Amino acid sequence: MILLSDLTAVKAALRAQRIETPSWAYANSGTRFKVFPQPGVPRTPEEKIADAAKVHELTGIAPSVALHIPWDRVDDYGALTKYAHDLGIEIGAINTNVFQDEDYKLGSVTNPDPRIRRKATDHLLEAIDIMDATGSKDLKFWFSDGINYPGQDDLRSRQDRLAAALREAYDRLGDDQRILLEYKLFEPAFYATDVPDWGTSYAHCVELGPKATVCIDTGHHAPGTNIEFIVAFLLRQGKLGAFDFNSRFYADDDLMAGAADPFQLFRIMWEIVRADALDPSYGINFMLDQCHNIEAKIPAIIRSVLNVQEATAKALLVDKEALFAAQQNGDVLGANAVLMDAYNTDVRPLLAELREEAGLDPDPIAAYHRSGYQEKIVAERADGRQAGWGA
Ligand code: PSV
Ligand code: MN
Ligand code: MN
């Protein structure tokens, strides 16, 4: 039973929730087979930021946008930050990119060639300069580094090289800046990836120190992996820094968060709520990392934000006392029922009410379609210079 006082707390928690959207999700993207371009897609980092600001305006809970360098490279990051602020949003995590250069064929920071390692590490340091200009606190690393064949390179030496590059970046961080180290099981390397799992990321973060934390991309695990266990474990260790939310059916599908498995998203958000880690003051950056290949970009991002919000609302509705009592009593079915009761609650009326109370449209996607924004960007951005994933 949800008491009125509980509902007030649930609403307060939902009002405080923050979700960061990724600049690249607004751009054209595709599979390795084909990119289907869409009219109105941004041409510049400024236009990606404008689209992110629109998502925030309609949802009220997406006040920051992550950048990816060099896809979002500009001459003046101070001016870009001011541009974002004028539109009511912040620049969030700075994502590094050491996976799209000819030099990185055999790896970036783990490459056997010291010249290439230097080049890759310099890019990591350059990203911190950008953070200084944008006021970003999060520096996100994902390394595509790995090998395709047994014996191709020395697994252990590659860990040493990785640790050295991470250390250099870590030592350059400002007081309130931190590293988010993302892991991924495979792709593009197929035999061994240098940061393949949360344990590897966690161990490097522990070695680095308190300003290094793990980023969980929900699409980066083997099928069947219990991601909420990883969440619970890392929270207990104080080492969960961020999420890259997206959905997957098979591998790193990058579909809309909560689309493929809303129950998994709920289970993850329950661990967050259970640890009192939802509030922005706790320090977890709840980001999306998605590619919208065939669906309209901005509505897809709004849908994803709403899906995370719905999963969160359900998690907040879990009757903790009843759950812990059932667990304590060994009531297997009772405990499971408490969790399922929350998951099976239709929270859409509650969220519509919350939006109306905040002066927002109760249906952000309908509001987007009515807003005329899509027609405006299609007309304004009609010169065929659309940004793509990698542009
Ligand atoms: C790698 O698959 C990844 O998840 C990393 O976060 C990259 O930065 C991002 O995708 C690029 O879309
Ligand atoms: Mn990611
Ligand atoms: Mn990915």
pLDDT of residue 348: 98
Phi and psi (nearest 5°) for 308? -65, -40
pLDDT of residue 66 exceeding 80, the answer is yes
Contact 52, 297 (CB under 8 A): no
pLDDT of residue 4: 64
Rounded to whole angstroms, the Cα distance separating 274 from 338 reads 14
216: which 2 tokens? 């969980």
pLDDT of residue 387 exceeding 90, the answer is no
Query: The whole model's pTM is what?
Result: 0.98
**Ligand 1 atom at shortest distance from the alpha carbon of 219:** 4
Rounded to whole angstroms, the Cα distance separating 45 from 24 reads 9
* H or E, element range at 305: helix 297-316
pLDDT of residue 1: 59
Rounded to whole angstroms, the Cα distance separating 368 from 210 reads 41
Phi and psi (nearest 5°) for 178? -145, 160
> Which of 244, 254, 297, 389 has the most ligand 1 atoms within 8 A of CB, as the residue to mutate?
244
Secondary structure (DSSP) of 252-289: S--B-TTTS-HHHHHHHHHHHHHTT--SGGG--EEEE-
Closest CA to 144 of 103, 112, 100: 100
In this structure, is the dihedral angle defined by the CA atoms of residues 74, 76, 78 and 79, taken in order, positive or negative? negative
Q: How far is the CA of 187 from the centre of ligand 2 (A)?
A: 12
Ligand 1, atom 7: nearest CA belongs to which residue?
A: 142
Q: How far is the CA of 142 from the centre of ligand 1 (A)?
A: 7
Ligand 1, atom 5: nearest CA belongs to which residue?
A: 142
Ligand 1, atom 6: nearest CA belongs to which residue?
A: 142
> Which of 71, 142, 214 has the most ligand 1 atoms within 8 A of CB, as the residue to mutate?
142
pLDDT of residue 320: 97
Span 39-61, mean pLDDT?
98
Ligand 1, atom 11: nearest CA belongs to which residue?
A: 289
Span 299-308, mean pLDDT?
99
Q: Which residues pair with 239 in a beta bridge?
A: none
Q: What are the pLDDT digits (tens) for 128-182?
A: 999 999 999 999 999 999 999 999 999 999 999 999 999 999 999 999 999 999 9
Q: What are the pLDDT digits (tens) for 51-61?
A: 999 999 999 99
Rounded to whole angstroms, the Cα distance separating 295 from 288 reads 16
Ligand approaching nearest to the C-alpha of 144: 1
Q: How many residues does the chain have?
A: 391
Which CATH superfamily does the domain covering 16-316+347-380 fall into?
A: Divalent-metal-dependent TIM barrel enzymes (3.20.20.150)
Span 319-337, mean pLDDT?
98
> Which of 35, 67, 217 has the most ligand 1 atoms within 8 A of CB, as the residue to mutate?
217
Secondary structure (DSSP) of 167-179: HHHHHH--TT-EE
Contact 254, 287 (CB under 8 A): no
**Ligand 1 atom at shortest distance from the alpha carbon of 95:** 8
Closest CA to 352 of 333, 342, 336, 366: 366
Q: How far is the CA of 21 from the centre of ligand 1 (A)?
A: 13
Span 284-300, mean pLDDT?
98
**How many helical (H) and strand (E) elements, i.e. helices and strands, does the chain have?**
14, 10
For the chain, percent of residues with pLDDT exceeding 90: 96
Protein residues with CB under 6 Å of any ligand 1 atom: 24, 95, 142, 182, 184, 217, 244, 252, 289
pLDDT of residue 390: 60
End-to-end CA distance of the chain: 51
Q: How far is the CA of 216 from the centre of ligand 2 (A)?
A: 8
Span 309-322, mean pLDDT?
98
Question: HSE of 199 in the Cβ direction (CA atoms, 13 Å)?
Answer: 2
> Which band of pLDDT confidence, cut at 50, 70 and 90, is reported for residue 388?
confident
Ligand approaching nearest to the C-alpha of 94: 1
**Ligand 1 atom at shortest distance from the alpha carbon of 187:** 2
Rounded to whole angstroms, the Cα distance separating 70 from 42 reads 16
Which comes out higher in pLDDT, residue 5 or 16?
Answer: 16
Rounded to whole angstroms, the Cα distance separating 192 from 358 reads 49
Averaged pLDDT score across all residues of the chain? 97
Q: What does the radius of gyration of the chain's CA atoms come to, in whole angstroms?
A: 21
pLDDT of residue 18: 98
pLDDT of residue 183 exceeding 90, the answer is yes
Whether residue 210 has a cis bond before it, omega within 30° of 0: no
> Which band of pLDDT confidence, cut at 50, 70 and 90, is reported for residue 291?
very high
132: which 2 tokens? 């200084």
pLDDT of residue 389: 67
Phi and psi (nearest 5°) for 283? 105, 5
The SS3 assignment for 214 reads strand
Ligand 1, atom 9: nearest CA belongs to which residue?
A: 289
